[in-house]
Amino acid sequence: MFDRTKNLRLSVIKQMEIMATQFPDTISLAQGVPGFDTPECIKRRVEKALQEKVVAKYSLSPGIPELRELIEIKLARDNMFYDWEKEIIVTAGSIEGITATILTITNPGDEIIVPDPTYTSYREVILLSGCQPVFVSLNEQKGWAFELKKFEEAITSRTKAIFYCNPNNPTGTTYSREQLLSLAELARKHNLFLLSDEVYKDFIFPLRSERIFSLAEIPELRKRVIRFFSFSKSYAMTGWRVGYLHSDESVIREIIKVHDSLVTCAPVISQYAAMGALEMAQKEVINFNKEYAEKRDFVYQKFDEMKNFFSYIKPQSAYYIFPKIIKKEISMGFPEEKSFSWRFSKWILEETHVAVVPGIAFGENGEDHIRINFGRNQKGLEEALKRIKKFLQKQKLV
């Protein structure tokens, strides 16, 4: 019974959120939700669609044509050229696209290489598909960079893909063009797919006009690269569950079969919201980015005040910071927990009523760290960091 699901686990982030509900005054810096509501222009686009009575029926399986056209135009602005008719699928959030893709490109028993630390749900999706995640540690000293040799060593005859998140969750760091190109060369040599999850790519720190490079920009790689994007983070639309994926026609015509059997189509009302986002909300994305950049600077300042307890790599994107706990000789209780970062996160939650995510949730290489979402409202962020600092001071740890 339950052979397929017995090795799956409920996301640690969600476990932390559930634990946090026992304290009514908890401030959660755990779940990766943006601190904003969906922009008004997007809501108005949805209202219009409701009035026009166009949301009640299924759309075509790959999505509403107008939306896919808008996606093609948006991608072209970012130097990625894909045919909206045959090479773009609108998905129910990026995770559905990821699931459909892994089910499409693998057979049970295949392996997928995943950098460590990375987004928690990748492991579960890979296991659910009957495959094995193979974690390869990133180098924290080099700003959480790839070490190509480690990736090459991890490749076996069963390896099907390398699956990375860029900008990376939980570190907020990005991979350089050179690193990505060398990874692409490795994929070419071993005939692997490259799955690129780029849901945070619209946020860049410090603020600058240049884009985050994607391997999907390289025409020669289009049959190898499958790129995922979600409207959740960029447009504060986590609840709408809408995203998209794109790749070469030869790949997409296979993924679409799985997408169709999983969800038929992405929620049509959310597809209209996504149209509103692409048509009208670009200014909002820029404003979100500005605000996150200010919050990031604030968070630096607070962690610098606790620098004998935490060290951190400056995030270049997303809205996370992933500080390392450098003092480990602490008496915290929770002996049942093997993981130090779990014990620390529970301790902080119980003592300060601030929810953070233990680094172990993102892979073994994330141990000794905690992930903090600084995208929440400023007042809550200030109060949460004040509580943590005050508590650590009381413990004579900072």
Partner 1 sequence: MKFFFKIILKYYLKYITKTVLFLHQPKIVAVCGSINKTFVRDEIVRNFKKEKKSIRANPKNFNTEIGLPLAILNVSSGYNSYRGWISPIIEALKAVFQKKFPKYLVLEFGISQKGDMKYLLSIVSPKIFVITDITQRYVESFSGMDELFEEYEYLAEKISKNDWLVLNYDNIKIRELAKRTLAKVVSFGEQNFSSEWRIAKIEKNPQGQKVSISYQGKEKKYQLNRFGKHHAFALVASLAVKNIRI
From first CA to last CA, the distance across the chain in angstroms is 50
Nearer to partner 1, 281 or 348 (CB): 281
Nearer to partner 1, 53 or 208 (CB): 53
CA 176 from centre of chain: 18
Q: For residue 10, give every residue at least 6 positions away whose Cβ sits within 8 Å of its Cβ, in sequence order, or none.
A: none
CA 33 from centre of chain: 11
Nearer to partner 1, 53 or 379 (CB): 53
Residue 220 C-beta: closest distance to partner 1, Å: 5
Looking at residue 199, the DSSP 8-state letter turns out to be T
Q: Which phi and psi angles does 361 have, rounded to 5°?
A: -60, -25
CA 335 from centre of chain: 31
Residue 215 C-beta: closest distance to partner 1, Å: 14
Token readout for 276 is 């509103």
Token readout for 113 is 């290489």
Element (H, E) at 91: strand 88-91
Nearer to partner 1, 1 or 56 (CB): 56
3-class SS at 210? coil
Query: What helix, strand, coil percent values describe the chain, rounded to 5?
Result: 45, 15, 40
Nearer to partner 1, 65 or 333 (CB): 65
Residue 187 C-beta: closest distance to partner 1, Å: 16
Give the length of the chain.
Answer: 398
Residue 270 C-beta: closest distance to partner 1, Å: 19
Nearer to partner 1, 133 or 276 (CB): 276
Nearer to partner 1, 54 or 128 (CB): 54
Identify any residues that bridge with 134 across adjacent strands, giving them in sequence order.
113
3-class SS at 134? strand
Residue 279 C-beta: closest distance to partner 1, Å: 5
Residue 44 C-beta: closest distance to partner 1, Å: 5
Token readout for 347 is 């301790």
Q: Which residues form the interface with partner 1 (CB under 8 A)? A: 40-41, 44, 52-54, 65-66, 69-70, 72-73, 76, 81-87, 219-220, 222, 249, 279-280
For residues 46 and 43, what is the distance between their CA atoms, to the nearest angstrom? 5
Residue with tokens 């943006």: 34
Looking at residue 313, the DSSP 8-state letter turns out to be P
Identify any residues that bridge with 115 across adjacent strands, giving them in sequence order.
136
∠ CA(33), CA(36), CA(38), 5° rounding? 100
Residue 211 C-beta: closest distance to partner 1, Å: 18
Nearer to partner 1, 83 or 364 (CB): 83
Residue 272 C-beta: closest distance to partner 1, Å: 13
Nearer to partner 1, 6 or 57 (CB): 57
Residue 280 C-beta: closest distance to partner 1, Å: 6
